[in-house]
């Protein structure tokens, strides 16, 4: 059987026409992979970071690790991806990157900074005292980890300051709830909240008010001696505080002299004896 030249040309022409279509389809799926020198990739990522294009910088740093996973640049890029995400306020993504860096490179010279940056991701998300304080608790835990692991680092110094602020925030939450119970005449529930502030957050700015509110709640319950003791502790530790002046007026002048044995007023006791029976 003879095959004509024309019959051969028709299938060949169809194949040639189809090739551009196939190429176009392959181009529509994903970007073409082009391997580049690691220094070029890293420098491009740094340029994006300096330009404050943080989302693009994250992608660029991740590309460094994808193309050159075993290079020292990849290790740096992991940390910088976390920093870029932090700058972009993509805190969840930042924590994921930083956790990965911490897990893979525990002996890296920048490991203290990685822990500190992770703590900042939680700290920056602390909400007002009217909302849930999960982020405050996570920030406090992470900041304490920085201080515990790297006590002599420059990050530990700043972490200690932020720990005080976080504790003050948690105490403020307890005070907010305690005041609400007080307004609802739920005095025992309010007392528990104020005692928590005095016992667990004794170095915060909320303690003078907590002592006054404690005296106020005891007065409402008719527990005069307990109210007097709370006011006396307030006066002993914060004699010039405006809350003591309010407590003085509340319980009555001339009634706040401490007993001969002042051990119950020791601030280190957590005020346990304040609630003991005489």
The closest of 154, 192, 206, 204 to 275, measured between CA atoms, is 192
- For 199-265, the DSSP string reads HH-TTSTTHHHHHHHHHHHHHHTT-HHHHHHHHHHHHHH-TT-HHHHHHHHHH-TT--PPPS-GGGG
Q: Would you state the pLDDT for residue 122?
A: 94
Q: Would you state the pLDDT for residue 263?
A: 37
Token pair in block for residue 7: 């019959």
The Cβ of residue 227 has, within 10 Å, a number of other Cβ atoms equal to 23
Cβ atoms of residues 123 and 166 within 8 Å: yes
| CB-count exposure of residue 20 (10 Å: 0-12, 13-18, 19+) | exposed
Q: Would you state the pLDDT for residue 85?
A: 96
pLDDT tens per residue across span 149-164: 999 999 999 999 999 9
C-alpha span between 264 and 29 (Å, rounded): 75
Q: Would you state the pLDDT for residue 53?
A: 94
Cβ atoms of residues 250 and 227 within 8 Å: yes
The CA-based diameter of the chain, rounded to the nearest angstrom, is 128
Residues of the chain scoring pLDDT < 70: 1-34, 128-132, 252-278
Q: Would you state the pLDDT for residue 242?
A: 87
Q: What angle do CA 62, 63, 65 make, to 5 degrees?
A: 70
Residue 122 — φ and ψ, nearest 5°? -75, -40
Cβ atoms of residues 243 and 211 within 8 Å: yes
Token pair in block for residue 163: 């720990």
Q: Would you state the pLDDT for residue 270?
A: 38
Q: What CA–CA distances, in Å, run from 242 to 165, 211, 239, 246, 248?
A: 22, 12, 9, 7, 10
C-alpha span between 79 and 114 (Å, rounded): 7
pLDDT tens per residue across span 265-276: 343 333 444 444
Token pair in block for residue 50: 């300096």
């Amino acid at each position: 059987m003879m095959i004509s030249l024309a019959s051969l040309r028709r299938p060949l022409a169809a194949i040639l026409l189809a090739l551009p279509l196939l190429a176009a389809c392959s181009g529509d799926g994903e970007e073409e992979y082009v391997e580049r020198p690691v220094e070029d990739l890293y420098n491009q990522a740094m340029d994006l970071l300096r330009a404050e294009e943080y989302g693009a910088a994250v992608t660029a740093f991740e590309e460094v690790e994808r193309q050159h996973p075993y290079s020292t640049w990849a290790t740096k890029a992991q940390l910088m991806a976390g920093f870029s995400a932090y700058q972009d306020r993509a805190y969840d993504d930042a924590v994921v990157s930083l956790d990965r860096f911490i897990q893979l490179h525990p002996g890296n010279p920048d490991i203290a900074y990685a822990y500190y940056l992770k703590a900042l991701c939680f700290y920056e998300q602390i909400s007002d005292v009217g909302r849930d304080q999960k982020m405050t608790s996570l920030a406090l835990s992470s900041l304490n980890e920085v201080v515990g692991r790297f006590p002599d680092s420059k990050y530990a110094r700043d972490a200690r300051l932020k720990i005080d602020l976080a504790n003050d925030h948690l105490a403020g939450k307890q005070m907010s709830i305690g005041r609400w119970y007080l307004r609802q005449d739920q005095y025992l529930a309010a007392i528990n909240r104020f005692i928590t502030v005095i016992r667990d957050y004794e170095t915060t700015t909320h303690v003078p008010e907590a002592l006054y509110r404690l005296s106020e709640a005891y007065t409402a319950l008719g527990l005069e001696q307990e109210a007097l003791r709370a006011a006396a502790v307030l006066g002993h530790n914060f004699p010039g505080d405006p809350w003591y002046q309010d407590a003085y007026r509340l319980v009555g002048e001339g009634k706040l002299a401490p007993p001969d044995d002042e051990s119950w007023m020791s601030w280190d006791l957590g005020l346990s004896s304040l609630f003991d029976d005489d």
